[in-house]
Amino acid sequence: MRIAINGMGRIGRLLFRRLTGHPDIEIVAVNDIMPPANLGYLIKYDSVYGAFAGIEYVAAEQELIAGGKRVKVLQEAQPLNLPWKQLNVDVVLECAGLFSSLDAASQHLKAGAGRVLLSTTGSPDIPLMIFGHNHKQLENDPAIVSPGGCMTNCSTHILYILQTIGIESAQATILHSYTSRQELVDTPHKQFRRGRAAAESIIPVEIDLPQSVGRLLPGLKDRFAAVSIRVPVANGALADFSIQMKEDVTAAQINELFRRAAGEEYKGIIDYTEEELVSLDIKGNTHSCIIDGTLTSVIGRQLKVVAWFDNEYGFTSRMIDWLEYWRKA
C-alpha cells in the first residue's frame, strides 16, 4: 500500500514515525507548508515521545530518508495540485485539519488518490466509522472516511457496551492534555478560553462529541452531553462518565463487563486495568480506552466509569488499523 500524509502536525508526524519501516505500507510523500528542514527536525525530536533515530532531510532532493527509504517532501497549499496520480498513492491520510468537508477532502481524489482517511470527525456527509464499532458496515465502499477523533473512539465503545444494559442519560467530562489549538500565552481568540495560556490553567473547551455520539448511537441522541477540560500536561487524557442506568447495576458487574470485552471482541481496542495509574503511565498505549476498574462506582442507578487514553498514540493506532483493514481487503 502506497500512502501520503497531508498535514504534518502532531498526528501526521506520529503517523510518519509509526509507519516508517512498516513491511507492507510505504510512505511515498508528505505535504506541509512548513520549511522541510524544520519538518525533519520536528519528526526527529519530539517533546512527548523522545528522539527518533534514523531520519535525515536531504535538501538537494527535498526528500526525507527514513528507514532506508526516500520520502518526497511537498509544500503545496491546495490538495488538488498534489501529484498523487503520478505517485500512485492508494490512500491519503488527511491530517491538516483544514480539509474535513466532503468537497475539500475530494480534492485528493481528483488529484489521483484512491482513498482519503481523515484524522478527525468530518462533515455530516462523510461516513463516520469507528474502528471496532461500525467499520464493517461501510456501504458502497466510500472513498472518504472519517475515523472520528480520540474522544469519539474512547466514548463510543464504552457507551455502546453499557447500552446492552440500558442507559437513561449520560454525561462525560474529558480531562485532556492541551493541544495546538490553544495558546502558549494569553492572546485574543474567538473562543475566549482557548486564548488563555494552556500550561497555566485548567480550561473548559466546547467539543462536538455529543453530535458525533448521536450519529453513531442514535438511541443516545439528546441524552448525552460532554465537555473537554484541558489540563496543563502535554499528553494523555482521562474520560469521566456519569451515567444514569435503566436498571440496578453493581461496580463489580460493570467491571466484569469491560474486563470480558477487553479480552474478547474488543481486544486491542479496549483495555481494562486495576492498577493505580496516572496519565503519564498511558503514554504510548495503543488502546482507544483503558477502563480503570479502581474508579468504577455506583450510587443508586447512577454509574461512574473512568477511562484513560493516549490522545495521540491511541488514535493513530486506529488510523493504522484502517490502513491494515483496507490493505487486507
pLDDT at 324: 96
pLDDT in tens, 260-270: 999 999 999 99
Shared domain check, 295 and 158? yes
Single-letter residue type at 195: G
Shared domain check, 271 and 160? yes
HSE at residue 147, side-chain half, CA atoms within 13 A, is 24
Please tell me what DSSP assigns to residue 273.
E
Domain membership flag for residue 131: no
Domain membership flag for residue 142: no
Domain boundary among 69, 99, 119: 119
Domain membership flag for residue 136: no
Q: Based on the structure, what is the number of domains in the chain?
A: 2
Domain membership flag for residue 138: no
- What distance in Å separates the CA atoms of residue 267 and residue 282, rounded to the nearest whole number? 17
pLDDT in tens, 153-201: 999 999 999 999 999 999 999 999 999 889 999 999 999 999 999 999 9
Q: Are strands 63-66 and 69-74 parallel, antiparallel or unpaired?
A: antiparallel
Shared domain check, 109 and 199? no
pLDDT at 138: 75
Based on the residue annotation, tell me whether 95 is a catalytic residue of this protein: no
pLDDT at 136: 84
Shared domain check, 253 and 174? yes
Domain membership flag for residue 325: no
Shared domain check, 284 and 189? yes
Shared domain check, 296 and 185? yes
Shared domain check, 307 and 159? yes
pTM beyond 0.85: the answer is yes
Domain membership flag for residue 113: yes
- What distance in Å separates the CA atoms of residue 93 and residue 73, rounded to the nearest whole number? 15
Shared domain check, 161 and 290? yes
Of the residues 95, 150, 154, 289, only one is catalytic, namely 150
Question: And the C-alpha cell for 186?
Answer: 494569553
Could you tell me where the DSSP H helices lie in the chain?
Answer: 10-19, 36-44, 102-110, 150-163, 209-216, 251-263, 313-328
Residue-range definition of the domain harbouring residue 293? 150-311
Shared domain check, 189 and 80? no
Domain membership flag for residue 127: no
Shared domain check, 99 and 19? yes
Q: Are strands 167-177 and 115-118 parallel, antiparallel or unpaired?
A: unpaired
Domain of 160, CATH number, reads: 3.30.360.10
Per-chain mean pLDDT for the chain: 95
pLDDT in tens, 88-106: 999 999 999 899 999 999 9
Domain of 92, CATH number, reads: 3.40.50.720
Shared domain check, 189 and 83? no
Q: Is pLDDT at 60 greater than 80 in this prediction? A: no
Shared domain check, 176 and 96? no
Domain membership flag for residue 25: yes
